[in-house]
Amino acid sequence: MKIYFYIVTADDKSREILNYLKKVGMVVTSNLASPAQQKNTSQFQSLDKIDMLLVYGDSLDQQAGYLLAAALSQNKKVLCLLPEGVKVDKNLSDLQYDKVLAKNLKILFFAGKNWSESLASYFSGLEHGQTKEFFNIKYTLRVSHKLGDYLNWKYKQSGINKADWIREKIQQLMEGDEEYQDFIKNRFNK
């Protein structure tokens, strides 16, 4: 998952969260990145290359509001991670009750060190099907003529298009791979 991590208030906890996200395999860019890293990422120019916006801080600044609005308008997942006891802006709070926007907006509160539990629970929910799975990652698959002929023959025999058939086979491999299933089960508990 590609995440843009916007940090309103840079502190030790924000760096811990950034390290956690990278440790669990997320591709993360952040406003804490060095100028050289920022120049090499297009997330500063456009949110269309990310899957999710994660906002962290004691309050939301103007830039956070802009990023929230832009991400929600592009149908991206948005997670606001706020310390317990922080008063949420009324406008942000009201968005949670909007039928269209509420499905992509989540506000999580944490106390002390339980931010990792909150994030693990949230990402586990995303990973284990509490949200609809979209096929939005494109791969170019080069195959031999023999494999191409087989895929064409399989399509004619089954009526299932080649991409769906390949996805189905990979899904079956994934489900049968015990080592991968253990990895997924414990992925966010680091």
Per-residue confidence (pLDDT) for residue 190, from 0 to 100: 59
Q: Which fold has domain 2-127?
A: Rossmann fold (3.40.50)
What gap in Å lies between CA 42 and CA 105, rounded to an integer? Answer: 23
Strand 77-83 and strand 52-56: pairing? parallel
131-166 residues labelled b (16+ CB within 10 A) or e (exposed): eeeeeeeeeeeeeeeeeeeebeebeeeeeeeeeeeb
Residues 87-127: tens digit of each pLDDT = 887 878 888 888 888 888 988 888 877 788 878 878 877 76
What are the domain boundaries of the chain? 2-127, 145-186
The residue to which tokens 């539990």 are assigned: 117
pTM for the full predicted model: 0.66
The reported pLDDT for the residue numbered 121 is 79
Only one residue has tokens 């494109």, namely 138
Residue 27 bridge partners (DSSP): 2
Q: Which residue(s) pair with 110 in the sheet? A: 83
State how far the Cα of 53 lies from the Cα of 25, in Å rounded to an integer.
16
Distance CA 4, CA 18 (A): 10
